[in-house]
Amino acid sequence: MLKLASFKMVFYKFFFAFNLFIKSKWVFSYPEKKPILLYDHQFILDGVYKKKTAIFYKREEINIPVLLHCLKEFDFSFHGYLLRYINFVEPKVIVSFLSQYHKFYFLSKQTGITTILFQYGNMAYLKSFYLKYLKKEEDVFVDYIFLYNKKIQIFFDKLKIGKTIVVGSFKNNKVFFRKKRKKKEVLFVSDYFDSNKNWNILKYDKIVIKHLSKLCLRKSLKFNILLKTGSNKEIDWFNNILNSSKSNSANFIKREKDPFHSYKKIETYNYVFGISSSLLSEAFSKKCRIGIINFRPKKYLNWLPMIKEYGQKKGPFWIASKKINIRKFNKVFNYVINSSNLQWEELYKKYSEIMSNFDHNNKKFYLLLKKILK
């Protein structure tokens, strides 16, 4: 049985590598020497640092000279390919926005090069990731780890795997409108996913969407939906929910190719509601009025920072429960819509540390980068 499982694993890896090799762009020149190596191209660095950066593409591109060096030494591993790529670039620092790639956590000690990692995913995800891939490993170290909030910083500080710095979300930090006039409308952030396996979650979400639309109708507020995929299937799914009752019709907003489009959108609306999107925490970091309505089975509720910190399943701007409670739903909605600016300022002071911080234009990161490259 074990031999069969091992054979399947080897076959899967071979098939994945072969498929990647065929579909990727082939580059026949050696990697350029640059002081900064960006692991994958989630985001491009700003200003003068853009020209100083080489990008290691995980899937889209294969460097043939580097690959030939790997084959010459009979090293067929992806990590071996990465290490050789690093040797050719000779960077002073390696930056990654993919905290779920566990091999990155070993690069600092393997190469002697400074590594910087940005948080990706919520606290519950990162905890399970660490326990699964890193807990029993040695030589786990990242020189600098940039995190969303102080709560996750406490967790990482206990691990003692690198210096932690709280900054919030890198993408969110790049977008900030100081005096933008906001629309007095409701924006709902879609959590839609096309899966038959989680129909039970979608059943709960349908109730939230339908009732939120009705509340907007009563308050004469325009109901907007920031789509997740922008597919016709997603739009049809929402239309079926809204057309099944006397709900308010919705204005659909598709996410554009611009990676900062969603962050720009949430800042242009007075009231932002959602179920579990990280955009809600990121909007709160800029003092946006948000409402979190999370009626889902128990195992899907623990992501909410207020539950982890205070054990509170309900509060002024959130409700998290495995049972539908329309009365509490209405209470959250009315507070988000009707509370004063002073009340919201006090809420921000109380909860900002456990939700998500904000570092305008990623000043802390670029100051550190400047220091490393001196």
Q: What's the confidence (pLDDT) of residue 2?
A: 44
Q: Give the residue among 123, 117, 82 at the shortest CA–CA distance from 99.
A: 117
- Give the per-residue pLDDT at 302: 56
Joined tokens for residue 106: 């070993």
Question: What DSSP designation does 362 have?
Answer: G
93 half-sphere exposure, CB direction, 13 A CA radius? 19
What tens digit of pLDDT does each residue of 228-286 get? 999 999 999 999 999 866 666 899 999 888 888 899 899 899 999 999 888 898 899 98
How far, CA to CA in Å, does 120 sit from each of 146, 168, 202, 368?
10, 11, 24, 20
Which residues on adjacent β-strands are paired with residue 63?
27
Q: What's the pTM value of the predicted model, to 2 decimals? A: 0.81
pLDDT at 214: 94
Concatenated DSSP letters of 135-191? TT-SS---SEEEES-HHHHHHHHHHTSSEEEE-B-HHHHT---TTPPPEEEEEEE--
Q: Where in the chain is the domain with CATH 3.40.50.2000?
A: 183-355
The low-confidence residues of the chain, meaning pLDDT below 50, are 1-2, 5, 12
Residues 310, 73: Cα–Cα separation, whole Å = 54
In CATH terms, is domain 183-355 a member of 3.90.950.20? Answer: no
Which residue reads 């005096």 in tokens? 179
